[in-house]
Amino acid sequence: MNSRGGGPIVQAQMAPEPTLSHIDSGNRPQMVDVGGKPASVRTAHAIAVVALPPALAQRLEAGEIATPKGPVFQAAILAGIMGAKRTAELIPLCHPLALDDCRVEIETRPPGADGSVEVEIHCRARTQARTGVEMEALTGASVAALTLYDMGKSVTHGIVIREIRLLEKTGGKRDYRAP
Q: Which residues are catalytic?
A: 150
What SS3 state is found at 145?
Answer: helix
What SS3 state is found at 84?
Answer: helix
What CA–CA distance (Å, rounded) separates 76 from 122?
11
What CA–CA distance (Å, rounded) separates 48 from 84?
14
What CA–CA distance (Å, rounded) separates 159 from 72?
13
What CA–CA distance (Å, rounded) separates 31 from 46?
23
